[in-house]
Structure formats: C-alpha cells, structure tokens
Amino acid sequence: MERVYKMKQVLTIAGSDSGAGAGIQADLKTFAANGVYGLSTIVAITAQNTKRVKSIFSLPENIVEDQLDVLFEDFDISAVKTGMLFSSNIIEIVSNIIKKYKVEKVVLDPVMISKSGNKLLEDSAIDTLVDKFIPLAYIITPNINEAERLLNIKISNLDDMYKAAEKLCSFGCKNVLVKGGHLNFSKAVDILFDGHNHYEFSSEMINSKNTHGTGCTYASAIAANLAKGYNTNLAIEYAKKYLTEAIVWAQSNKIGHGYGPLNHFYMLTNIK
C-alpha cells in the first residue's frame, strides 16, 4: 500500500558557513532532524571555521532574488527562517518577497555578530531591519547582545529581558523571544512576549565549547515546528529541548579547535 505523506517545506534565507556549524548548513541539518524538507537561499558566502570568520562575500542581489522567486513559484513553503542578511539591499529584497508571497510564519533571527566577534550585519542595515522586516515577522529571536543593539539598552537580568521583549514587540512583530543564554544564570532562560503575555522557557545551562550555531539551530527548529502546525509556545518548547540535546550530545565532539558545532543528529548517534 502506498504511503501518502506530504512533508512540510521550510525555507532558510541566510549566509553559508564553510565550517558547516552555523548558517545555511546548520539550518538544513535542523530542518531534516525535525522532520521537514529544507530549502535554502544563500545571501552571502563566508570563509570561516570554528575559530574565526576570515572573509564574507555578499552574493549579487539578482541572484538572491532569483533564488527566492524560483523557490516560491514551485514549492509550498509553510515557514521561512532568516539568519544573516548582511546588507540593507538584501533585507529590502527579502522583505518584498515576504510581502509578495504573503508569508505568515516568518522566524527572524537578527544575526549581527559571530561568536568570534565578526560583524555579520552592516551597521547601515540595522534601521532597515527594524523599519522594513521586523514588522513582517511572526517571531524574532534575538539573543541578549542583539536585543541590546536593537534597543540601545543594557540587559543585565530577567526583569530587563521582560522589558526588552515588550519594547521589541512594539516594532511590529507578533512575537518576541529574547534568549538569555548569554547571561550568567544557573539556567538558560528565554522570555517570550506575544503582545499580551510573557512566558518563560528554561533549561539547564550546559558548560560546553561546542555551541557554534546555537542561534541558527534554535530559530530553525522553531520554524520547523511552526510549519508542522504547533502553536508558538509548543514550537519553542520542542525547539529548546532539541537544542539542549544537540549541545549535550556534542560535548564529547572534537571538531575544530574553537567553538565546535552541535550534534544536530544526536538521535542517530547510537545507530550502527
């Protein structure tokens, strides 16, 4: 008997990571591990490893736009996740495509700086991100540093995170998830604000150097879960569980000499 199952299709729009720990590569791994079919639009190519980003090449704008157009004209895309967009012009193109194809489930990860400290979003592009793209997002997922940069404030505790989530939501998006992993808590606490209520999501804080691509992975897992029909809270809850396990199972990995990658397929680790 033929099995009929229509796999949900999710698109990532981001930069390529030659070390495969973050960016497009991490997104596609996450989509596959979470049971959706991953599509990709590459906006920039980075030469990077676990220790540094050596160089960034932004792809021609017509190539970015063409990638998006051919994907939307053929695939039934249930959700879009964006990562490193790099420039104002790329943000404009992506925003126009989102409006053109009336995408509702947009997970915007406002990637600005790499773990090694390299700038992944031009300063001139931040205003464009705030004015043109954030209002189109279903949820944005800034970490502490990104939230501070977007709001020009200092976030030092849980109360600050609550206030930051509210202020970011006023930019026009439906939901804000402020990730607290950069704060020195005993737990990794994230705060969701849906325009009305706050929700906390917490997990154990794992002391590991293998954390390259955590933001990309988290946002991609949320997008996958939204595409599968889960509500916002469950999409985040399941994504955080997946992320935590991917970090735990990566602790013994010896891949690279800096911030190592996650184990995106930890569930296959014991399969022989």
Provide φ and ψ at 103, rounded to 5°: -75, 125
30 is known as an active-site residue: no
Question: Angle at Cα 160 formed by Cα 173 and Cα 150, nearest 5°?
Answer: 45
Q: Are strands 9-17 and 77-82 parallel, antiparallel or unpaired?
A: parallel
The residue from 50, 128, 211, 232 that is catalytic is 211
The residue from 179, 180, 217, 260 that is catalytic is 179
Question: pLDDT tens digits, residue range 130-170?
Answer: 999 999 999 999 999 999 999 999 999 999 999 999 999 99
Q: Are strands 139-140 and 175-179 parallel, antiparallel or unpaired?
A: parallel
Query: Of 44, 53, 60, 43, nearest to 21 (Cα)?
Result: 53
The residue from 29, 215, 228, 240 that is catalytic is 215
Note the pLDDT of residue 194.
Answer: 98
DSSP state of 44: E
For the entire predicted model, the pTM comes to 0.95
215 is known as an active-site residue: yes
Question: pLDDT tens digits, residue range 204-239?
Answer: 888 889 999 999 999 999 999 999 999 999 999 999
214 is known as an active-site residue: yes
Place of tokens 């399941």: 238
**Could you report the average pLDDT of every consecutive run of 10 residues in the chain (272 residues)?**
79 97 97 98 96 94 98 98 94 97 97 73 87 97 95 95 98 97 81 98 90 96 98 98 95 89 90 54
